[in-house]
Structure 1
């Protein structure tokens, strides 16, 4: 009851907070019209671009890598900065197309914005569909000469705006951004780089595996999008029917006890739970896999970046076209859909799918 009341209060206050925030931060000290040519950036004068990816979403950052590469390919002397958060920072940690990474911490927008402002970025690109007050503040304080945002035509803070296609893959939106930067017909593949330490660590794990590696990621950010114990066991038994397959589970340390209990239940020597140190270890391990099985989460995009075939399980779309916009966008991935239709106010359960649809 208390949670419900709090949610109602927050829903009431949110537009008020956003309205006040917009009054404070939807402004720009000066318009650098010399850097804008029609509806595009005049890239002849641009020396630096900052991409704001402060939401910490790993899968989004994986797809963002196409932007950094395509910009650097056409404009090799342009400095590329990325504002990132949490584990998503690791996705670009060793990316050769990124020159500077800035660590985002909520509540510390002023110090970050002031640091960025001193570096005088010519172009700042924001990806937010709805800017919260802290994010408005950051964009303002960064002091970009040209600010680019999603559906921000009516904002004073933004100089150029791009569109998102809600019936096409998210890479179509990134094409729109690149078009503003004078880049046509881009390569839309994404990539993840790691260092020798990561590669050597995973090589040691892989050398101990006798068979073809099948990676099973049972977990997503919420329990409604994660495989339950019953489904994990069903999938595992299906994979293990082929004597050549070795099943490797991936999952953060908080899932270790559950995974070890499932391994004990299976009583099979061809099931392993390797100890990985972070998302780069996961990506490197995936690059050695024959096949991946996962729910709708960042592992889908990591697998696509490594060109590994997989089965990816999604919930039925409920008007948001999630499986299209944030789908795998690869012919090597089989999308499988849960049949659960949720009641009003409830989330769909991803586990209502047919395990036999998974083809390993």
Structure 2
């Protein structure tokens, strides 16, 4: 009861904070009118700043489409990206990005970052937030780009240009395609774009050196929410299914904090099951590139695998309304991947459903067909 009341209070206060924040920061001096036609060319856009401060790996993987397609058509365009956490790793080797800015959730550091960015005088700022928090409003205001562009911002003074989601069911990449078309990039290539250092490649090649004659299966048991983590029974069940046939090896991936948990499962197998001890998300991405098959409940890994069109089983929940949308919005979106759905019929209203209500028989049929 106390927890429920606290949640109601926090929701109430959040709404108040957002209203106050918008009152303070939703303003911008409009010096120039937008000229119709190809937005980049007609409005002399020479630099673009992308705001990706959510830290989401999967979103950043999809966002790589935009960096490449803009640079292909406008090689001299300056591209900057505000990012944080592991999402920065996804783009640190990207040849189409000129500068990466580190975002931290601290108002003083945000003001300092905005001051740094404002001195570089970006022509266009593109924000991808569905809901703007106060610190994000402040950042956009203080960056002082010539034009600000955002999602469904028609009634905001802070934004000069707005875009909306496509109609009906759509995949997330269609949003990025729509933004590209809004600024003048027609018929873009929608393949994702990941780049690796030689050291990252070498570290993975060393890991795989003794398994050149085997099929490499990458199993990612974990996701951002504990309700989307595979449990021990499902992890072991999937491993057993993979090892039904010879000449296969299973590499489990996960953050270092999950190592002990994974090792406790691995010790039940005498061979062909390993924890991939890698140093970064990019090394993990290169392991996925080298793999023959990927299994995951996490959309970050789904999008990394999609960059290389790997054979994949992606497990999604299908019992909540939001997941009905997610199975399309965040789907693998290519023919080499199969979606398997967890149907938690016992979940109570207001609770998060369990990813583990899928049938191992479905996994078996796909892998060993």
TM-score normalised over the length of structure 2: 0.94
Q: Corresponding residue for 2:230?
A: 227
Q: Give the distance between the partners of 1:328 and 1:188, measured in 2 at CA.
A: 13
Q: Give the distance between the partners of 1:42 and 1:348, measured in 2 at CA.
A: 45
Query: How many angstroms does 1:355 deviate by?
Result: 1.4
Q: Corresponding residue for 2:133?
A: 132
1:315-355: per-residue Cα shift (whole Å, max 9, x none)? 01633301101111111110010011432110011100011
Q: Give the distance between the partners of 1:142 and 1:296, measured in 2 at CA.
A: 33
Q: Give the distance between the partners of 2:178 and 2:35, measured in 1 at CA.
A: 16
Q: Corresponding residue for 1:99?
A: 98
Q: Residue 319 of structure 1 is aligned with which of 304, 318, 321?
A: 321
Q: Corresponding residue for 2:362?
A: 357
Q: Give the distance between the partners of 2:270 and 2:340, measured in 1 at CA.
A: 27
Q: Give the distance between the partners of 1:2 and 1:329, measured in 2 at CA.
A: 43
Q: Residue 181 of structure 2 is aligned with which of 176, 179, 182?
A: 179
Alignment of 1:334 onto 2:343: no
Q: Give the distance between the partners of 2:256 and 2:155, measured in 1 at CA.
A: 45
Q: Give the distance between the partners of 1:56 and 1:20, measured in 2 at CA.
A: 25
Query: How many angstroms does 1:106 deviate by?
Result: 0.8
Q: Give the distance between the partners of 2:146 and 2:191, measured in 1 at CA.
A: 29
Q: CA 1:317/1:74 → structure 2, altered by over 3 Å: closer, same or farther? A: farther
Count matched residues. Answer: 357
Tell me, what secondary structure is at the counterpart of 1:183?
Answer: coil
1:78-137: per-residue Cα shift (whole Å, max 9, x none)? 000000000100100000111100000011210111110000000000000000101101
TM-score normalised over the length of structure 1: 0.96
Query: How many angstroms does 1:148 deviate by?
Result: 0.5
Q: How does 1:122-161 map to 2 (within 5 A)?
A: 122-161=123-162
Q: CA 1:243/1:42 → structure 2, altered by over 3 Å: closer, same or farther? A: closer
- Tell me if structure 2 keeps the 8 A contact 1:213–1:290: yes
Q: CA 1:78/1:317 → structure 2, altered by over 3 Å: closer, same or farther? A: farther
Q: Corresponding residue for 1:52?
A: 51
Q: CA 1:317/1:167 → structure 2, altered by over 3 Å: closer, same or farther? A: farther
Query: How many angstroms does 1:306 deviate by?
Result: 1.6
Q: Give the distance between the partners of 2:9 and 2:195, measured in 1 at CA.
A: 44
- Tell me if structure 2 keeps the 8 A contact 1:310–1:332: yes
Q: Residue 37 of structure 1 is aligned with which of 17, 35, 41?
A: 35
Query: How many angstroms does 1:212 deviate by?
Result: 1.0
Query: How many angstroms does 1:274 deviate by?
Result: 2.1
Query: How many angstroms does 1:286 deviate by?
Result: 0.6
Q: Give the distance between the partners of 1:356 and 1:96, measured in 2 at CA.
A: 43
Q: Give the distance between the partners of 1:31 and 1:292, measured in 2 at CA.
A: 51
Identify unmatched segments of 5+ residues in structure 1.
Answer: none
- Tell me if structure 2 keeps the 8 A contact 1:221–1:297: no
Q: Give the distance between the partners of 2:36 and 2:360, measured in 1 at CA.
A: 53
Query: How many angstroms does 1:184 deviate by?
Result: 1.1
Q: Corresponding residue for 1:216?
A: 219
